[in-house]
């Protein structure tokens, strides 16, 4: 029995020494934490922040990509703005054409009313001879040519005059021929005014679309530039709270002409 105790006692003392050493290490650690409680929390937050943040190479690549994207969007916005300005100028020119065509149509309508009142009165009688009919035909052809060179008649209408079809009768009295000619001019100018009006509507839609595209690209370019500044200023500790960024608004001056307003860039 004494031999057994003599063999076990050295192991017990050695184990006691090991346990006492471990307890001393734990006590020192606990004492350090109690004396400096913020050190572990600070080191842990710093390690988490470093692990969450991208590497320097990744940051450089991302910054280059953001700069390249912002530059491309800015160039696209400038081109879209120039296109919007050109479309707006085309729309204004189309409006001018509509106004001029309407004024020409109103003048032609006034001529028709005036000649209509003149034909209601008794016409002077002339001797209906072959020479008289030749003179009336020559007068009709000359008046139609003059109206064509003034761009009051179309090529088709002038062809009808020389072919004596669609109501063109060279045997009519010159006053009656003038009334027929003025009615044809009025109809042609009205059709031209309608065509100009359709072109103006097409130009207006194109201008509106160009303005919307330019506005969208300019907003995107503004947002891309704002994101760069915001991301450069957003490297904050985890304990801080991001502050809201005040959005900027822009007002476009509008030049109104006619029935619609297209923003001027």
Residues 93-105: tens digit of each pLDDT: 999 999 999 999 9
pLDDT given at position 127:
65
pLDDT given at position 192:
93
- Who's near 232: CB < 8 A, 6+ residues apart? none
Q: Report helix, strand or coil for 129.
A: coil
Q: How far apart are CA 161 and CA 145, in angstroms?
A: 9
Q: How far apart are CA 90 and CA 111, in angstroms?
A: 32
Q: Report helix, strand or coil for 218.
A: helix
Predicted model pTM:
0.57
The residues facing 261 across adjacent strands are: 256
pLDDT given at position 88:
92
Q: How far apart are CA 153 and CA 138, in angstroms?
A: 17
Least reliable range by pLDDT among 2-11, 134-143, 208-217: 2-11
Question: Quick one: tokens of 45?
Answer: 């937050």
Q: Judge whether residue 144 has pLDDT over 80.
A: yes
Sign of the alpha-carbon dihedral angle for 238, 243, 244, 246: negative
Confidence of residue 87 (pLDDT cuts 50, 70, 90): very high
């Amino acid at each position: 029995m004494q031999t057994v105790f003599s063999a076990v006692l050295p192991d017990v003392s050695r184990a006691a020494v090991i346990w006492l050493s471990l307890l001393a290490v734990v006590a020192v650690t606990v004492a350090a934490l109690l004396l400096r409680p913020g050190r572990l929390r600070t080191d842990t937050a710093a390690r988490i922040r470093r692990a969450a943040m991208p590497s320097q190479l990744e940051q450089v690549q991302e910054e280059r990509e953001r700069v390249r994207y912002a530059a491309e969007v800015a160039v696209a916005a400038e081109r879209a703005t120039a296109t919007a300005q050109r479309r707006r100028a085309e729309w204004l020119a189309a409006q001018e054409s509509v106004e001029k065509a309407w004024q020409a149509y109103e003048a032609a309508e006034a001529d028709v009313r005036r000649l209509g009142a003149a034909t209601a009165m008794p016409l002077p009688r002339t001797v209906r001879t072959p020479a008289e009919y030749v003179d009336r035909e020559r007068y009709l052809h000359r008046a139609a040519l003059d109206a064509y060179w003034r761009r009051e008649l179309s090529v088709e209408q002038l062809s009808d005059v020389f072919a004596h079809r669609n109501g063109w009768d060279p045997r009519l009295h010159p006053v009656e021929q003038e009334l027929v000619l003025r009615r044809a001019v009025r109809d042609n100018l009205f059709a031209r005014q309608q065509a100009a009006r359709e072109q103006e509507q097409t130009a207006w839609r194109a201008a509106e679309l160009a303005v919307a595209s330019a506005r969208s690209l300019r907003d995107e370019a503004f947002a891309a530039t704002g994101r760069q500044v915001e991301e450069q200023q957003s490297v904050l500790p985890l304990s801080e709270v991001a502050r809201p960024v005040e959005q900027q608004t822009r007002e476009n001056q509008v030049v109104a002409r006619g029935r619609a307003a297209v923003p001027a860039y």
